[in-house]
Amino acid sequence: MSGIPYLTLVTFLPILGMIIVLLIKSEKIQLIRITAAIVTFLQIVIAALMWSKFNFSAAGINDQSSFQFVEKVRWIEIKNLADWIGTVKIDYFLGVDGLSMPMVLLTALISFLGVLASWNISKGIKGYFALYLLLDTGMMGSFVALDFFLFYVFWELMLLPMYFLIGIWGGPRKEYAAIKFFIYTLFGSVFMLLVMLGLYFSTYEILPDGSKVYTFNMLQMMNPVNYSKEGLLSPFNPNNLRFIAYIFLFIGFAIKVPMFPFHTWLPDAHVEAPTPISVILAGILLKLGTYGMMRISFPIFPEITNQLAYWIAVFGMINIVYGALCAMAQKDFKSLIAYSSISHMGYVLLGMASLTTQGMMGALFQMFNHGTITAMLFMIVGVIYDRAHTRGVNDFGGLALQMPVYTGITTVAFFASLGLPGLSGFISEAFVFLGAFSNETIRILAIISTLGILLTAAYMLWTMQRIYFGKLNPRWENLPDVNKLELAALSPLAVVVILFGIYPSPMLNLMNTSVNKLVEIVVNGQVTFSNLSALIK
């Protein structure tokens, strides 16, 4: 490790911001907001710097030397006190590769825009921004952590601020939504914790002096050589529980995605959460589920991933079609967008399950695009809700006459969401289908999933028509168009959406080396993890 610790900076800058915010008197509202904005903006600057220094040909995934900006310091070490504990050793191990770099950029971008969208939060501003910045650290940390324990710590770190942000600043049924979110995700993390400990007690790391210690290092877990002979989750153990562990871990992540049938917390949480929190939730938090699968489940359990890919794709398909159909029936603008999120995350699942480069790349890019597009959609809902204090889709009409700029931006977001070519959503969806269709076993699922394209177009345009077209409802004659602040929050996203729709290579080149490596690991993993006899010497 040398030079500037970019990842530590980018991860803990918000914590620093939180401390500053806490030191500011709660009456100085403007100062608090500006501090939060500056901190998150600095985050973007650092992320952009990292992007510019990123080595596009380094793969990462299971090889520490090709990770970038790696920081590895012994964090917790307990010496060999007793036989059964052994030495406990946990690293502060951060690094990025092509899988996490896009997510880091996304997190930085959305966090900053989320601050702008939070400008008109009116109660408890100090607490709000403090929690918001804490949440930011949790998210960023989860994306850059390479030690499972550290990952888990960041993962849990997100829960608490989210709970309060929904529970205090939310809508009428905020307590219900917050508790539901909290218990649901906690339920998922318990599963994850079990698998984490199971893996810990099955993997050895060999120290330079030749002694073996258990390890939380994800990269070590990806290599079958490091497993102990009798560990519960060790492939060498004929009675291992890897299959069950995979399902547990998958459920843990699937709740976050959220995957059918674990998705019901999402509409509630979205509808009750304040706009910027919905933006964060949909824009970043959901990605953690699929990111976790790609970063942890797939390379650590490649043989089971191959076995279950079909079922992941089935759930992806259900998410796509089911989410779209449910969205069509919603009367509340926000829950409509929430269900559309479910539908769009289905593409990510489908793409991952194809186990092809195109599909995975599509999935990863869809994660990024869904982050930007849905963030935009929720901000759009926020704009209208701030003005009209209602979100009923049928309550509006003719807003295109009253708010032309707003309608223009909405058009971009809606069409991006329904996958119009030239906007970023299309590229990722197309890739997902390219991948899924190339895989013979899930080809039929890909064909059924194309229904999603159709249904998305149908409900998006229907919504568009009901809210923006037609005669202006006289009730809304005095609604002002978007103000400068809202425009500042929305237009960067619109630019990103259009830019990556026309020329996605800057983002795709970031990913392709890593994605290819991941595909190779997963597909070959079936062989390496099944023919273990060769490894035992």
Partner 1 sequence: MTTYDLIFYLFALIILVSAFIVVAARNIIYSAFSLLFTFFGVAGIYVLLNADFIAVVQVIIYVGGILVLIIFGVMLTNKITEVEIKTESFQVLPSIIISGIIGGTLVAIFTKTNWKVAEPQILDKTVTEIGRFLVSHYMILFELAGIILLVALIGSVMIARKEKLETEEVEK
Partner 2 sequence: MNENILIQLSILNIILPLFGFVLLIFFGKRLPKSHLFEISTIFVGLVSSSIVSFFKLNYFEDKLIVFDFRWIDFGNVPFFGNLGINIGIQLDNVSVIMQLTVFIVSFVVHLFSIKYMEGDPRYSRYFAYLGLFTFSMLGIVLTHNFLMMYIFWELVGLSSYLLIGFWFEKKSASDAAKKAFIVNRIGDVGFFLGILILYANYHTFTFSEIFGQIAQGNLPFNSGAWLTAAGILIFCGAIGKSAQFPLHVWLPDAMEGPTPVSALIHAATMVAAGVYLVARIFVMLTADAMLVIASIGAITAFISATIAITQTDIKRVLAYSTVSQLGYMIMSLGVGSYFFAFLHLITHAFFKAGLFLGSGSVIHAMHHEQDIRFMGGLRKKLPITYYTFLIYTLAIAGIPFTSGFLSKDGILGGTLAFAKLTGYWFFPVVGFFVAMLTAFYMFRLVILTFHGEARDIHKFEHAHESPATMLIPLISLAVLSVFIFFSPNPFNIEAGWFYKWIETPKTIVPQELAFSFMINESNTSHNIIHSELYTETLHHSHSTAMILSLIMAGLGILFAFVIYQWRLISADKLSIKLQPLYNFSYNKWYFDELYSKTAVAFTLGLSNFLAWFDQKVIDGIVNGTATITRWTSFSSGKFDNRVVDGLVNWTAYVTGFFGMVFRKFQTGKVQTYLVMVLTGIIILFFIFKSL
Nearer to partner 2, 121 or 324 (CB): 324
Residues in CB range of 87: below 8 A, 6 or more apart: 77, 78, 79, 80, 211, 213
Instruction: Give the distance from CA 469 to its chain's centroid.
Output: 33
Nearer to partner 2, 1 or 506 (CB): 506
Task: Tell me how many degrees the CA angle 250-155-516 measures, rounded to the nearest 5.
Answer: 55
Choose from partner 2, partner 1, none: what does 401 bind? Cβ within 5-8 Å by kind: partner 2
**Phi/psi-derived region of residue 355, left when phi > 0, alpha when psi is between -120 and 50, beta in every other case:** left
Contact set for partner 2, span 453-482 (CB under 8 A): 453-455, 457-459, 461-462, 464-465, 468-471
Nearer to partner 2, 42 or 427 (CB): 427
78 belongs to the binding site for partner 1 (CB under 8 A): no
Alpha-carbon distances, residue 418 vs 81, 160, 451, 498 (angstroms): 59, 33, 12, 14
Site string for partner 2, 189-218 (x = CB under 8 A): --------xx--x-----------------
Choose from partner 1, partner 2, none: what does 513 bind? Cβ within 5-8 Å by kind: partner 2
Min dist. Cβ of residue 5 to partner 2 (A):
29
Nearer to partner 2, 59 or 94 (CB): 59
Choice from 63, 205, 395, 520 touching partner 2 (CB under 8 A): 520
In degrees to the nearest 10, what's the CA dihedral of 226, 229, 231, 237? 120
- HSE, CB side, 13 Å, CA atoms: give it for residue 167: 16
What kind and span of H or E run contains 516?
helix 505-530
Query: Considering only CA atoms, which of 143, 253, 142 is closest in space to residue 195?
Result: 253
326 belongs to the binding site for partner 2 (CB under 8 A): yes
Backbone angles phi, psi at 189, to 5 degrees: -70, -25
What kind and span of H or E run contains 89?
strand 88-96
26 belongs to the binding site for partner 1 (CB under 8 A): no
Contact set for partner 1, span 81-100 (CB under 8 A): 81-84
505 belongs to the binding site for partner 2 (CB under 8 A): yes
3-state secondary structure at position 384? helix
Contact set for partner 2, span 128-187 (CB under 8 A): 180, 183-184
Q: How far is Cα 400 from Cα 402, in angstroms, rounded to an integer?
A: 6
Choice from 152, 415, 500, 529 touching partner 2 (CB under 8 A): 415
CB 98 within 8 A of CB 59: yes
Nearer to partner 1, 80 or 509 (CB): 80
Tokens (6 digits) for 85: 């504990």
In degrees to the nearest 10, what's the CA dihedral of 446, 450, 453, 454? -160
333 belongs to the binding site for partner 2 (CB under 8 A): no
Identify the bridge partners of residue 145 per DSSP, sorted by sequence position.
94
Choose from partner 2, partner 1, none: what does 83 bind? Cβ within 5-8 Å by kind: partner 1
506 belongs to the binding site for partner 2 (CB under 8 A): no
Applying CB under 8 A, the residues found at the interface with partner 1 are 80-84
Binding residues for partner 2 (CB under 8 A): 180, 183-184, 197-198, 201, 232, 260-261, 263-265, 322, 325-330, 357-358, 361, 398, 400-401, 408, 415, 420-422, 426-427, 430, 433-434, 437-438, 443, 446-447, 450-451, 453-455, 457-459, 461-462, 464-465, 468-471, 503-505, 508-509, 512-513, 515-516, 519-520, 523-524
